[in-house]
Amino acid sequence: MTTLLHVAVSPREGRSHSRRAAQLVLDQLAEASADLRIIERDLAATPLPHPDAAFVEASLMPDADRTHAHRAELALSETLIGELEAADSVLISTPVHNYTVPSTLKAWIDLVVRPERTFRRTPTGKVGVLADRSVLVVSASGGNFDGAHAQTDFLMPYLRYVFATVGIQQVEGIRLQNTARGAESAVQALDGFSQELAARMLLMPLVA
């Protein structure tokens, strides 16, 4: 059985361009793999808390020194990390907010990227401890990141760097751009996404 973790971010539900695009990926994966199991983590339906002082204290403490209260503070983080560890591959569908990740996705990252749990601290820097796996990021933006008047892309470089921190190197992305420039532009963005998805053959790593 192949397991896919889908982290859905957009709060716009049925009006979301990134969610529509992700559904195309999910439909094709279901056709390609009859035994596909999907773990859905919807950050809009069930928002995650941002780390507070109690969480930070518990996460920085040596495991042997943690009390029951400390472990309770880390319980949600352990659930999220467990979902990631259980997945053979990951699909993230997200809008671009102010050139980078939405705060809800940042909260997921902050609960998953934990010292001495998903990465080790060494004299030469952080070393990821999770097994490598394929991550596909489907992002939707109102503006464009290619061509004339392009915006700076902080989303994909950041996600590649943060996943590498925990040991995951295979991070690819497909964008839907100019989605806020009218209905015709939004349709063109989804059409372009479908073509790029097929041309780049990104489905194979996800079902491997």
The answer to the question of whether 17 is labelled as a binding residue is yes
For residue 92, which of 32, 40, 158, 28 has the smallest C-alpha distance?
Answer: 40
Q: What are the backbone angles phi and psi of residue 142, rounded to the nearest 5°?
A: -70, -30
The answer to the question of whether 59 is labelled as a binding residue is no
Helix 183-200 with 17-32: angle, nearest 10 deg: 30
For residue 3, which of 138, 134, 128 has the smallest C-alpha distance?
Answer: 134
Which secondary structure element, helix H or strand E, spans residue 106, and what is its range? helix 103-112
Q: What are the backbone angles phi and psi of residue 182, rounded to the nearest 5°?
A: 100, 165
The answer to the question of whether 134 is labelled as a binding residue is no
The sign of the dihedral angle between the CA atoms of 200, 201, 203, 206 is negative
The answer to the question of whether 89 is labelled as a binding residue is no
Residue numbers belonging to the annotated binding site for FMN: 10, 16-18
Residue numbers belonging to the annotated binding site: 10, 16-18
